[in-house]
């Protein structure tokens, strides 16, 4: 029994010029094979024009338990949204 091929996370940029988006993962022995496999698995229907492959082990993620301290402070700062400032109807183009 050999060791499993490492896991890679795959990110694809679609044709519309948007940022690379996570589409899923796959196993591959190295970076070159990760790109080749990603092409076969995730771009069979013209889904993308560029592939990023990142070893899953190299991804640093926030912990689910930190959700409150990380994201709660933004809740009270509604003035960060443009809709916080009501504009008179007479004022245009703003």
Residues of this chain that interact with another protein (CB under 8 A) are 1-5, 7, 23-27, 29-30, 33, 40-41, 44-45, 61, 63-64
CB of 18 to another protein, least distance (A): 17
Comparing CA positions, the residue from 47, 15, 4, 16 lying closest to residue 38 is 47
Kindly give, in sequence order, each residue whose CB lies less than 8 Å from that of residue 4, ignoring residues fewer than 6 positions away: 27
Question: Which CB, 57 or 91, lies closer to another protein?
Answer: 57
The whole-angstrom separation of Cα 29 and Cα 65 is 33
Question: Which CB, 58 or 89, lies closer to another protein?
Answer: 58
């Amino acid at each position: 029994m050999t060791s499993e091929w490492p896991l890679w996370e795959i990110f694809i940029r679609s044709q519309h010029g948007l940022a690379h988006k996570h589409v899923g993962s796959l196993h591959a022995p190295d970076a070159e094979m990760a790109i080749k496999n990603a092409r076969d698995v995730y771009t069979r229907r013209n889904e993308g024009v560029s592939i990023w492959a990142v070893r899953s082990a190299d991804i640093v993620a926030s912990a689910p338990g930190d959700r409150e301290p990380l994201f709660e402070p933004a809740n009270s700062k509604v003035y960060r949204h443009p809709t916080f400032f009501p504009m008179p109807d007479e004022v245009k183009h703003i």
